[in-house]
């Protein structure tokens, strides 16, 4: 990634097995939001990957924090009505937990290395390049800092 970006982790946890039908509703709402984001690249989502279990995780890469925030607060998108419904029906019941973490990442302050892997994660959001066999994390990070012009 040559520009700053945001990594957004969001997920849910089924706390009581008997409440699985409520989790299905949450999962359907999440899928609708993801479909909406994939069909409208101008909203700012670059890529996402989902992982399922008792705790679900969606790893999302966003163009910038403003895009993420605008989507979350928009009355014209799926998120806000779903969030309001969760708060009204489930929040205080303890049945389903919802969590998220947001990371602002500067272009010069990250690296991603994939060995014997198909394109995955951040490589799907940006433009992967080949790794020299003699490279080290320190060298790669120094090159990124130098070429980005930040000099930090």
Name residues whose C-beta falls within 8 Å of residue 84's C-beta, 6 or more positions apart in sequence: none
**CATH code for position 135:** 3.30.70.100
Name residues whose C-beta falls within 8 Å of residue 74's C-beta, 6 or more positions apart in sequence: 80
| Range(s) of the domain holding residue 145 | 1-152
User: What pLDDT, on the 0 to 100 scale, is given for residue 10?
Assistant: 96
- Closest among 112, 107, 106 to 131, alpha carbons compared: 112
User: What pLDDT, on the 0 to 100 scale, is given for residue 152?
Assistant: 37
- Mean pLDDT along residues 59-81: 96
- Residue 2: pLDDT over 90: no
Q: Please state the pTM of the whole predicted model.
A: 0.83
What is the rounded CA–CA span in Å between residue 52 and residue 56? 5
- Closest among 57, 60, 36, 28 to 46, alpha carbons compared: 60
CA dihedral 20, 25, 30, 36 (to 10 degrees): 160
- Residue 23: pLDDT over 90: no
Domain count, the chain: 1
- Mean pLDDT along residues 21-36: 92
- Residue 35: pLDDT over 90: yes
Helix (H, G, I), strand (E, B) or coil at 50: strand
Under the banding of pLDDT at 50, 70 and 90, the label for residue 147 is: low
């Amino acid at each position: 990634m040559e520009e700053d970006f945001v990594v957004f982790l969001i997920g849910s946890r089924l706390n009581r097995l008997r409440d699985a039908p409520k989790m299905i509703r949450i999962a359907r709402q999440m899928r609708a939001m993801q479909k909406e984001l994939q069909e409208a690249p101008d909203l700012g989502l670059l890529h996402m990957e989902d992982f399922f279990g008792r705790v679900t995780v969606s790893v999302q890469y966003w163009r910038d924090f403003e895009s993420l925030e605008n989507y979350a607060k928009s009355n014209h998108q799926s998120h806000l009505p779903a969030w309001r419904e969760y708060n009204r029906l489930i929040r205080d019941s303890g049945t389903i937990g919802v969590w998220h973490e947001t990371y602002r990442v500067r272009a010069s302050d990250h690296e991603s290395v994939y060995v014997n892997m198909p394109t995955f994660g951040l490589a799907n959001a940006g433009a992967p390049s080949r790794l020299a066999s003699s490279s080290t994390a320190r060298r790669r990070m120094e090159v990124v800092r130098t070429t980005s012009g930040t000099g930090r």
